Amino acid sequence: MSDAVAPAVPPTGLEAFIAGMPKAELHVHHVGSASPQIVAELAARHPGKVPADPALLADYFTFTDFAHFIEVYLSVVDLIRDEEDVRLLTYGVARDMAAQNIRYAELTVTPYSSTSRGIPDVAFVEAIEDARKQAEAELGVVLRWCFDIPGEAGLASAEETARIATQLQPEGLVSFGLGGPEIGVPRPQFKPYFDRAIAAGLHSVPHSGETTGPQSVWDALRDLRAERIGHGTSSVRDPRLVDHLGEHRIPLEVCPTSNIATRAVSALEEHPIRQMADAGLLITVNSDDPPMFGTDLNTEYAVAARLLDLDEAGVAALAKNAVEASFMDPAGKRRLTAEIDAYLADRTSG
């Protein structure tokens, strides 16, 4: 893991500002947020190919391409064997978020990955809900769920995810998503499942345009009625799409380090976040699968600040984008926006 996850020395300057700033995160995966310590503990309990030594996980989490990332990701998913694993993972993720001053997070959860491995759907939902309530009471972190379809598992996984989302619909569930590889997994085939989720009152937030071209973003908008786009990295290659995203103020969930780690973008200097910002698009900054990519949300803000030449006011404005793009209730949005404004005012006046 990189030093960004657990700095050896206190951050200074803009990094210190980012570390103390109240934040929301909209694109971060449940299992992908497992810290090296949690992964190692699970690996020790369920011996296999995943190293049970946190020090060895950095090499294990070095990916050759997106397909390799999915392979490694699924090997960690396989460590979640029962509801107690689910509960410990969920609370641990919230604890790591609290340490970064994340006040609100929409955590992408893939129920099918657990139910297909034998965890009953009701037990799974109860485990994440128990952890959510405990985290809010003890840590002050508000968690909400996006139940997503693992695209690589096909339409059977879509049916199961839609069923769990619409029939069980836990209190914390706000949205319905689609993750996994994009190449060879066209978005339109998932339309019936998104239609059911939307009819049940859930928001649509599929991944698209990460490792495929702009057409997958169009497909997500037209067929899946996307309200936000997960990644959308290739959107800048289609001026008409950029205009559409800007006109309708459709947020992009941007994950810079993730895009480099999975080879969706070859280098940070080539990341399209600058083009997105220059076009006036509503961009949010996110960590995706932070420990797997040797990052965290604070680090992603620092990366974005460098790529966009932001000062403290610019970073605070970026943080407020995430609040605006979230599915928080209006009162919650006002509170967190006011908290960010007060933090900036206090820092600049001091």
Contact 200, 169 (CB under 8 A): yes
Of 146, 260, 263, nearest to 206 (Cα)?
Answer: 146
CA distances from 87 to 157, 321, 332 (A): 22, 30, 26
- What spatial distance separates the first Cα and last Cα of the chain, rounded to whole Å? 34
15 among known catalytic residues: no
Q: Which of 210, 253, 270, 339 is catalytic?
A: 210
Q: State the residue for tokens 């002050």.
A: 140
Q: Please give the Cα distance from 135 to 142 (Å, whole number).
A: 7
Contacts of 122 (CB under 8 A, 6+ apart): 168
Contact 329, 25 (CB under 8 A): no
State both tokens at 314.
Answer: 């610019």
Contact 282, 325 (CB under 8 A): yes
Neighbours of 307 (CB within 10 A): 17
- CA 251-255-260 angle, to 5 degrees, is 140
Contact 308, 314 (CB under 8 A): yes
- The DSSP H or E segment spanning 315 is helix 312-325
Contact 287, 23 (CB under 8 A): no
Contacts of 52 (CB under 8 A, 6+ apart): 40, 43, 44
Return the SS3 of 204: strand
Contacts of 125 (CB under 8 A, 6+ apart): 111, 164, 168, 170
Residue 270: DSSP 8-state? G
User: Which residues are the active-site residues?
Assistant: 210
